[in-house]
Structure 1
Amino acid sequence: MATGTVDFTDVKWTMLVTLYHRARDSRSARPILGDTVAAEAVDRIDYDFDSFRMRATSGDRALVVLRAKQLDEWAGDFLTRHPEATVLQLGCGLDGRAFRLDLPERVRWFDVDLPEVIELRRRIYEERPGYRMIGSSVTDPEWLAEIPADRPVLVLAEGLLMYLEQEQVRTLLTRITERFSGGELLFDGAVSWVVRVSRMLPGFTSAFRMNWSVDGGAEIEHLIPALRRLEERAVTSESGRIGDPVLRGVYELIARIPLLKDSLRLYRFAFGKSA
């Protein structure tokens, strides 16, 4: 089914970028993520993925797929221990994680994003038993009331929280930790200097301007006392997964530069009865 012409120009455009990078990775000789669902989605979307502004983001491809790969592994570990869990993927964009992962049969999965994003998703993905899409801003308090709170919850917020204001992050995560008896939160965060630089990005790259920074897990524990840090790691620490030896060497070099190696980090937190 054709999607109709897609013309996102603000922060929603970044979801096309990440989809494009996952699709390109899946078509490479040695994929990291192997997201064939993304490749199929790209083929169905009426958008010029060969445009200059899309190709200009190619240098970020490894970051995108390394981030997704680690979050997939953490999510898979949680769902192995909680095969009847509820999953909330916040700011889901066009990510096909619910179809990419080998989900236990009784998992209940909700993808949440802005109404116009979900409208596009519905032209690409179909709802099925145990899988539902919700069109709402994640900062709107009403959508959460639709989610049953009778199971452990896994919350995924990939490429989302850095675009919110700190008070929005605090309010959102507090609502979630108060509604559910226990679970885990997986997300990525950018350090202060990256957020400051992003605010100066010109032209089409201004879609990547961020608002919220985090310089380590201790900041999150202070912001949301209900959260307990389980793990955090720099995306660059996953460079050994890169098949291309030249690109792998570049990322290994970045990992040795203090200012750069921790610029984008992945976080795993638990709350409540999460065992």
Structure 2
Amino acid sequence: MSVPEVRLTGEKATLLATLYGRALDAESPRSILHDTMALEIVRRIDFDFTRTGLRRGEQAAVALRARHFDRWTREFLAAHPKSTVLHLGCGLDTRVHRVDPGPGVRWFDVDYPDVIDLRRQIYPSREGYETIGASVADPSWLTRVAGDLPVLVVAEGLTMYLRKNEGEALFRRIVNHFPGGQFVFDGFSRRGIRMQRFNRAIRVAGATVSWGMDGCAELEAIDRQLRCVTATGAFDIDGYEKLPTGYRLLARVAKLFPALRRMAVFYRLEF
């Protein structure tokens, strides 16, 4: 199947860097994520992925983050075989195919209409899986999702591109729509948001980051039903020994300074 030329800008364009990272990892003999579908798609898409700002050698960090959220997703689905998954800002992620949820799971990939149009051209359909083309900040899309089952909200690489008021309103809408569930996502501290001016992929895409969060107390204050059950620094997840030397050194330094260690955090909230 042919794939048209990809023309994305701003935060939408950052999905190309993460897709490229997963593809580079897949072709490595020491692959972490084994996302062969991402590799196949990169080979088919009419785009020069070397322009994304992600360099060879950096793919392990992308794969480690994806693997971490895959694990959290599988843990939730094992405990809730009948549930709903909202994969927000899904981009061209193949998570639904990697996780392969059971028949009791309703899975929704949500992203901008042009991103979803691209997904529909390159990824196969599957039972229990739907896509929704909308900005996640638009309140109307959630009305298309039944609120009768526990929900897992996966938002990898999303929150920083939202404005604070947009993100908080999104969280509250979901909490009020479902009987219970979890949010799993990564967030930058306010210092981390400022440091993203050095992030090549974000600079190349022309994207803007906005929402910085400094710990669980801020997130729990969004809605009284929210409880922060996990807050893991990005440098504390399993597998950093597989990263290039520069990343390993950065991780060691970051662990010595709390402000650096908490610049990027993986959160799990329950309600």
Same fold (TM over 0.5): yes
Q: 2:101 aligns with which of 100, 103, 107?
A: 103
Do the aligned residues in 1 keep the contact of 2:26 with 2:35 (CA within 8 Å)?
A: yes
User: What is the CA deviation profile of residues 135-182 of structure 1, one whole-angstrom value per residue up to 9, with x for unaligned ones?
Assistant: 011111111001011111110111111111110011111000000000
- Mapped to 1, the partners of 2:142 and 2:244 lie a distance apart of 44
Aligned to 2:156: 158
Go from structure 1 to structure 2 and tell me whether the alpha carbon gap of 1:197 and 1:80 turns closer, same or farther (over 3 Å shift).
same
Amino acid in structure 2 at the alignment position of 1:226: Q
Deviates more, 1:28-37 or 1:66-75: 28-37
Kindly provide the CA deviation profile for residues 107-157 of structure 1, in whole angstroms up to 9, marking residues without a partner as x: 110000000000110111122220011101111111100101111111011
Match of 1:66 in 2: 64
Distance 2:55 2:247 in 1: 18
> Offset at 1:205?
3.1
Query: 2-side partners of 1:88 and 1:224: how far apart?
Result: 19
The SS at the match of 1:34 is coil
Relative distance call for 1:124 and 1:83 in structure 2 (3 A) is same
Match of 1:46 in 2: 46
Structure 1 residue 177 and structure 2 residue 196: aligned?
no
For the residues of structure 2 that align with 1:141 and 1:90, how far apart are their CA atoms?
Answer: 13
- Separation of aligned partners in 1, 2:114 and 2:190: 30
What is the Cα deviation at residue 204 of structure 1? Answer: 4.2
8 Å CA contact 2:58–2:244 kept in 1: the answer is no
Residue 10 (1) aligns with residue 7 (2): no
Q: Is 1:62–1:242's contact at 8 Å kept on the other side of the alignment?
A: no
RMSD: 2.1
Q: 1:244 to 1:266 in 2, by over 3 A?
A: closer
What is the match of residue 209 of structure 2? 210
SS of alignment partner, residue 12 of structure 1: helix
Spell out, residue by residue over 1:50-106, the C-alpha distance to the aligned partner (whole angstroms, 9 max, x if none): x3x335545643332222111111110000011111100001000010001132222
| Amino-acid identity (%) | 43
Q: Residue in 2 aligned with 1:24?
A: 24
What is the rounded CA distance, in whole Å, between the counterparts of 1:177 and 1:263 in structure 2?
26
State the one-letter code of the partner of 1:19: L
Alpha-carbon separation, structure 2, partners of 1:208 and 1:260: 22
Kept after mapping to 2: 8 A contact 1:20/1:42: yes
| 1: CA distance, partners of 2:45 / 2:126 | 21
Amino acid at match of 1:160: L
- Taking the aligned partners of 1:41 and 1:167, their CA distance within structure 2 comes to 35
The equivalent residue for 2:234 is 235
Structure 2 letter corresponding to 1:91: G
Normalised TM-score (structure 1): 0.90
Unaligned runs of 5+ in 1: none
Which residue of structure 1 lines up, in the alignment, with residue 193 of structure 2? Answer: 195
**TM-score when scaled to structure 2?**
0.91
Q: Which moves more between the two structures, 243-252 or 29-38? A: 243-252
Pair 1:210–1:58, CA change in 2 (3 A)? farther
